[in-house]
Amino acid sequence: MRIGELAERAGTTTRALRYYESRGLLPARRDAHGHRTYDERDLRLLAQIRTLRDFGFDLEETRPFVECLRAGHPEGDSCPASLEVYRRKLQELDALIGELSAVRAQVGAQLDRAERARAELAAEALVPGGPEPVCELGGRER
């Protein structure tokens, strides 16, 4: 198949395919007229790349999976190098989850503090002579 058909079947662009070719991820086979030619194996490589990219892997991280498929393995993640990329990605994700959990805890604490302060102001407003409530938009409540 030609580059346009492969791009359409893979759900990508010819520009992306040329880029993958330049990075050595997609083979650069040519027919007698100099046109790029591809087969079902190339479509499978692209599916592997796309799946990994959807999971947040950068393009270079897909290389071991592509090489594993090219080596004839039925799955791109059955080679030791692919497994190592999975391990590193899981460590990265665990670190990000830890960072996000810490930020979430801080935001939750700020919300609790702000709600307590608002409740205290509202309670003071009910006491004769307490402060007049202020509208969130900067005006006085009526």
- The pLDDT tens digits of the residues spanning 32-83 come to 999 999 999 999 999 999 999 999 999 999 999 999 999 999 899 999 999 9
Type of residue numbered 16:
A
Q: What is the pLDDT of residue 125?
A: 75
Instruction: Give residue limits of the domains in the chain.
Output: 3-126
Distance in angstroms (rounded) separating the CA atoms of residues 74 and 58: 22
Distance in angstroms (rounded) separating the CA atoms of residues 4 and 6: 5
Predicted TM-score of the model (pTM): 0.72
CATH of domain 3-126: 1.10.1660.10
Q: Is the pLDDT of residue 134 over 80?
A: no
